[in-house]
């Protein structure tokens, strides 16, 4: 079977996403006009962490420190308590403390606005940098997490073995106008009806065009 048709896929996902009632936390923050700093911090916290846990930890942290200035004044131990129980909270607290100081000293308190600069910051990999660039700065990029990597391969759009390679290859086959939407749509799909261990194809808006459909 041929790879999934891109244009039709995004048309169907766009209609479906409005009916689901499930939006990833970072997308909600961006839609609500949160600052680049808060979007960056929450994106860092979200790695290997459920959305509900990320949301609670972010609210707890931001009630005490919602700027680089306030964050830099907190001890690592205090940051650990505020962001617990996100995954790898001890490492993230250390990175967050260093991140705040670097943003203050090197970038005069403003989060840098390019993927290249973002990836030089502690705790910020390409996935986080891409998502922050898209959501905080309205930039064009493709953010590839485990859901995007898995489902893009399942759709036969790419044949890759790492998310980093998937990001590069998707840019070759997906028109730029869709780049910003890919993560939100596919993550929502991957967290609801196309989960890694259970594909509910009967509930999927793409069941008729997906190469992996079991219908």
Whether residue 5 contacts residue 25, with contact meaning beta carbons closer than 8 Å, is answered with: no
E strand intervals along the chain: 194-195, 198-199
Give domain status of residue 213, yes or no.
no
Residues 199 and 179 both lie in one domain: yes
Cα separation, 128 vs 186, whole angstroms: 16
C-alpha gyration radius of the chain: 18
Mean pLDDT of 161-168: 96
Residues 128 and 44 both lie in one domain: yes
Residue 120's domain spans which residues? 34-137
Residues 108 and 146 both lie in one domain: no
Q: Specify the pLDDT at position 22.
A: 72
pTM reported for the whole predicted model: 0.91
DSSP 195: E
Residues 52 and 98 both lie in one domain: yes
Q: How confident is the model at residue 42 (pLDDT cuts 50, 70, 90)?
A: very high
pLDDT of 109 above 80: yes
């Amino acid at each position: 079977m041929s790879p999934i048709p891109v244009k039709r896929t995004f048309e169907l996902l766009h209609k479906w996403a409005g009916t689901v009632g499930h939006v990833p936390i970072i997308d909600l923050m961006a839609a609500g006009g949160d600052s680049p700093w808060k979007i960056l911090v929450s994106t860092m916290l979200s790695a290997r962490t459920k959305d509900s846990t990320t949301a609670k930890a972010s609210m707890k942290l931001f009630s005490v420190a919602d700027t680089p200035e306030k964050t830099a004044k907190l001890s690592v131990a205090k940051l650990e308590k505020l962001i617990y129980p996100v995954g790898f909270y001890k490492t993230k607290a250390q990175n967050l403390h260093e991140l705040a100081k670097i943003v203050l000293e090197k970038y005069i308190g403003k989060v840098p606005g390019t993927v290249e600069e973002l990836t030089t910051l502690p705790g910020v990999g390409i996935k986080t940098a891409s998502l922050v660039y898209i959501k905080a700065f309205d930039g064009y990029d493709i953010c590839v997490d485990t859901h995007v990597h898995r489902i893009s391969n399942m759709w036969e759009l790419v044949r890759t073995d790492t998310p980093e390679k998937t990001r590069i290859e998707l840019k070759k086959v997906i028109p730029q106008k869709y780049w910003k939407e890919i993560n939100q749509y596919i993550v929502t799909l991957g967290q609801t009806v196309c989960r890694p261990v259970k594909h509910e194809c009967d509930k999927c808006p793409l069941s008729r065009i997906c190469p992996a459909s079991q219908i």
